[in-house]
Amino acid sequence: MINWTDEDLLRLDRRYAEVGVPFHARPMRAAMDLLGSGTVLDVLGSPGFQEIESAYRRLIPEVNTIWPGMGIGLATSIDRVRKVVVAIVYGQKAFSLDEGLGFSSREEWLSWCRNDSSIAAGTAFALADLSDLTYGLDELQQSNSATKYWQMALSNLEDVTNILVSGFNVASVLQPVCMTAELAMKGTLVYLGDDPKTLGRRDIGHRHAVLAERLARMRPHRDDALIASIVSKLPDYVSSRYDGTQLTRLDIVRLALGVQFIAASSVRRITDRDFALELERDQWPGPREPYFG
């Protein structure tokens, strides 16, 4: 039993404010700090987590904001990473791909992509994935049983993006990469009726391949084969917390792009959002290539 007090939560909240952790993500972050970063994924439904969450909401009511109204993810040009922000806009608003990716012009976008059509196509699909994820979660925000998982998946994707944009060491980015995929898949599995306690068992736990197989079985989707390929490349979550790795920056960037795709696909299969399919059906970029290496 880990003991903590209101003063502990207020001390943590001050730290989160200083580093810019959004209100909605703070109870989960506190659970990670108080219970241990390796245990929070297994205790989302436990009394320990529920007590921390309840006390945090009592002390800092602003954390009751369920959805920040935007998604933050990444687009890549080889191993260069660009932060992409998709904000929820209600009503019809057409935008170009370069605008959606945050470029001032088509020429600037293509230059960043080295005037390589394949790289540009990859950035277009990255935008589509983040758009499907963001708008899909906006539709699902009242699905409280799964909300915690999706919130933390999006928070981890934002962490991955910020680390890769600013420079990184492998140890600092592998954990949120792994957690993005795991939490997104678990959120959708819980939404589909899976038991959170079952998902916390040792034979499932942090095993991405098992979660992907379970997801494909419960709600099959055209993305399943590509997801299986990506999860086969993800390192073991537990060992990644302690071991060094021979992965290069390019390897990590590809994994980050891959887990963003997994998160988007987890939401696509339970909503009507599918910007990615529109791109696949267009003359360009056409069918998605395995940009994840």
The pLDDT assigned to 180 comes to 96
Extract the residue ranges of the chain whose pLDDT is less than 70.
Answer: 1, 36-47, 64-69, 89-94, 142-144, 168, 170-171, 237-245, 291-293
- Here the contacts of 162-169 (C-beta below 8 Å, separation 24 or greater) are 162/83, 164/74, 164/81, 164/252, 164/253, 164/256, 165/74, 165/81, 165/82, 165/83, 168/249, 168/252
* pLDDT tens profile 275-286: 999 999 999 999
Q: What whole-number distance in Å separates Cα of residue 293 and Cα of residue 286?
A: 18
Q: How far apart are CA 84 and CA 32, in angstroms?
A: 26
Q: What is the DSSP letter of 68?
A: -
Tell me what pLDDT residue 39 has: 47
* Bridge pairing between strands 70-77 and 80-87: antiparallel
Q: What confidence score (pLDDT) does residue 266 get?
A: 97
Matching residue, tokens 């370069």: 98
Q: What is the pLDDT of residue 78?
A: 95
In DSSP notation, 22-42 reads -GGGHHHHHHHHHH-TTTGGG
pLDDT at 92: 52
Give pLDDT, residue 65. 57
Contact assessment for residue 171 and residue 123, using Cβ atoms and an 8 Å cutoff: no
What distance in Å separates the CA atoms of residue 250 and residue 265, rounded to the nearest whole number?
23
Q: What is the mean pLDDT of the chain?
A: 86
Query: Which residue's structure tokens are 């009592």?
Result: 58
Residue 42 has what pLDDT?
Answer: 53
Tell me what pLDDT residue 291 has. 65
